[in-house]
Amino acid sequence: MGVDILDPVQTSAKNMELSSLKKQYGKDLCFHGGLDIQGFLPYATPEEVREKVKSIKDLFEGQGGLILGPSHYITNDTPTKNILAIYR
């Protein structure tokens, strides 16, 4: 299909800040991930999750090139309310 996707975008890894990746490769790649499952989702409040999702959506400003979701499998230490906050 000719689609190139960087999967996963693990923002806690070195040089994986989503804004930098978009600036550098956004015209050539689609990104999958963006929500850190190690240091953010298990510990954030639902409001912080909603704010993070909004900031990521604002970064892409309806331009596409992003499949927003967790950077890997969501682990069982992540509160259900944080998972629901992603989709709300």
Other C-beta atoms closer than 10 Å to the C-beta of 10 total 17
Residue 57, domain extent = 5-87
b/e code 25-43 from CB counts within 10 Å (16+ = b): ebeebebbbbbbbeebbee
**Predicted structure pTM score:** 0.88
Q: Residue 86 is encoded by which pair of tokens?
A: 């992603």
Write down the pLDDT at residue 64: 83
List pLDDT tens digits, range 5-62: 999 999 999 999 999 999 999 988 999 999 999 999 999 999 999 999 999 999 998 7
pLDDT at site 2:
74
pLDDT the model gives residue 63: 85
Number of domains in the chain: 1
Q: How confident is the model at residue 1 (pLDDT cuts 50, 70, 90)?
A: low
Q: Which residues are within 8 A (CB) of 80 and not within 5 positions of it... i.e. 6 or more apart?
A: none
